[in-house]
Structure 1
């Protein structure tokens, strides 16, 4: 039986839970952005484009975790890092300058609309990637 490289196991154990959560966020953030952009883009273009960007980041993280190996690990690492920076920056800006965010994004108010999972998720994801 061949052994898998250590990096290939990103999607095993806790990684499977992370895959489920990232996949769910990829789907929900992307669908939300698609609906917002196609139905009332002019109301809050920045917020809706940021939701679309968050969806792309979640998709990339999901793919990286699922793929495993050195390339998957790098994709997941970059995605989770972008996610962490995004949720911290957008979370802060949405509180400091609420006028710029007339409608919520996934990362607004540090992910309050999603039970703060967007704030906690990148920390867990980065920890998992470095641990593996």
Structure 2
């Protein structure tokens, strides 16, 4: 029990306060946008660019999982946040480079194509901010 009678959690409120709330909100918005885009692409024209549209769906799943992991308390969820956001960073860098140097590989854009240019480069900046925030909030664990 804490001073105010509440049960302590495994994470401090600082983890999801302030900048963390903005980060979670942006992740949530990007999760919705990527999900909507990928579902639309897969249902309407999957045969035109199966790799690109599958990567968009994968990105959507990563954003959803990262959003949940940033909100959920506990060490396991914190690890999942590190893994998903790290995977996101690798994905946007790899797909970004491939889409620039081998554009025929991606005849249609993905969320991560050209480093997220279709999303105002948010997919490039967001994982860097997310990883930095997780690193800075590492002391917020109980």
TM band (smaller chain): over 0.9
Q: Within the alignment, does 1:83 sit opposite 2:88 as a pair?
A: yes
Answer 1 or 2: which has greater helix percent.
Answer: 1
Please list every run of at least 4 consecutive aligned residues from structure 1 whose deviation after the TM superposition is greater than 3 angstroms: 2-9
Q: Kindly indicate whether residue 124 of structure 2 is the aligned counterpart of residue 119 of structure 1.
A: yes
- TM-score under structure 2 length normalisation: 0.88
Q: Distance in 1 between matches of 2:83 and 2:52?
A: 22
- Structure 1 position 68, deviation (Å): 2.7
Q: Is 1:33 the equivalent of 2:38?
A: yes
Number of residue pairs aligned between Structure 1 and Structure 2: 132
Superposed counterparts of 1:94-105, under 5 Å:
94-105=99-110
- Gapped regions of structure 1 (runs ≥ 5): none
DSSP-derived class of the 1:104 partner? coil
TM-score (ref. length: structure 1): 0.94
Aligned Cα root-mean-square deviation (Å): 1.4
CA deviations over 1:95-118 (Å, ceiling 9, x no partner): 011011111011000011111110
